[in-house]
């Protein structure tokens, strides 16, 4: 891909996406330009990723054909107002912020632009992200195909109606945090049972990775896969019953509802 790609800001999510792009054989790093708010962060980006990084948002907006807004949601309106007169007329603006709708962004711009709302997650850092993509009415099919090809560098994606984005954030955007808590809890239990901590983390992480891969590749229902592990009168069913008694599923469902509600009210 020879299109110029710009990032306004480059925090944790921006870095995850940037790394995904740089591992692709289809992306020329010479076509990537980033702006950061401080000299320290600019130097850090250059040293870590060896890409062009500047302190001026306008400099990025003037050249980017694909423009990622990788700043905090509360800065979106200010950034769009600052950059509007400099963004290329045919550029695709990509949002990665929770709580900022397509309608919000369109209302902050005086002209019509091609805008895509997305929600990636941090496993994009290792090419195993899950992203949602929603285009506005100005996006043409060829634009969407380019952006989808770009997001394949981060992992998987789904074209999703915007009304489902709050639920998607709870399901995928925030869920890596739940999984990391699960890993930590499993490792803590293993340490309590005598396994050295460094081994416990590795074992927990591989078990979760393998389980997810088994579900994805077999297409079997999660309940069926669970039943395959639960022998009658065995050890696993004891653990499953204890999880049920402790409200394991209920806690996950309630937590995701809270997450979705927060996204709606941001």
DSSP reduced 3-state for 114: strand
172 annotated as ligand-binding: no
For the chain, the C-alpha Rg in angstroms (whole number) is 21
Name the E strands within the chain. 5-8, 32-35, 52-54, 66-69, 92-95, 114-119, 129-135, 155-159
12 annotated as ligand-binding: yes
57 annotated as ligand-binding: yes
210 annotated as ligand-binding: no
Closest CA to 118 of 148, 83, 86: 148
- Distance, in Å, from the CA atom of 56 to the CA atom of 112, rounded to the nearest integer, reads 24
215 annotated as ligand-binding: no
136 annotated as ligand-binding: no
176 annotated as ligand-binding: no
- Distance between terminal CA atoms of the chain? 35
54 annotated as ligand-binding: no
Structure-token pair, residue 29: 């790093």
Which residues line the annotated binding site?
8-13, 36, 57, 70-73
Which residues line the annotated binding site for NADP(+)?
8-13, 36, 70-73
Which residues line the annotated binding site for NADPH?
57
């Amino acid at each position: 891909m020879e299109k110029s790609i710009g990032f306004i800001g480059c925090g944790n999510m921006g870095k995850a996406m940037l790394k995904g792009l740089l591992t692709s054989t289809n992306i020329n790093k010479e076509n990537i330009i980033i702006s950061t708010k401080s000299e320290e962060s600019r130097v850090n980006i250059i040293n870590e990723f060896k890409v062009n990084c500047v302190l001026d948002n306008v400099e990025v907006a003037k050249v980017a054909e694909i423009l990622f807004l990788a700043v905090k949601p509360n800065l979106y309106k200010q950034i769009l107002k600052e950059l509007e007169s400099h963004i290329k007329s045919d550029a695709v603006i990509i949002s990665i912020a929770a709580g900022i709708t397509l309608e919000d962004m369109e209302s902050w711009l005086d002209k019509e632009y091609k805008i895509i709302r997305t929600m990636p997650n941090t496993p994009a850092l290792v090419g195993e992200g899950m992203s949602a993509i929603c285009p506005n009415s100005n996006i043409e099919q060829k634009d969407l195909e380019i952006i989808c090809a770009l997001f394949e560098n981060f992992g998987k994606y789904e074209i999703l109606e915007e009304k489902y984005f709050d639920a998607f954030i709870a399901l995928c955007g925030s869920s890596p945090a739940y999984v990391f808590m699960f890993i930590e809890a499993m490792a803590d239990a293993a340490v309590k049972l005598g396994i050295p901590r460094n081994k416990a983390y590795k074992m927990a992480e591989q078990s979760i990775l393998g389980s997810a891969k088994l579900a994805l590749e077999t297409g079997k229902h999660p309940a069926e896969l669970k039943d395959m592990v639960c022998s009658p009168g065995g050890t696993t069913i004891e653990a499953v019953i204890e999880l049920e008694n402790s409200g394991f599923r209920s806690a996950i469902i309630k937590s995701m509802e809270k997450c979705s509600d927060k996204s709606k009210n941001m």
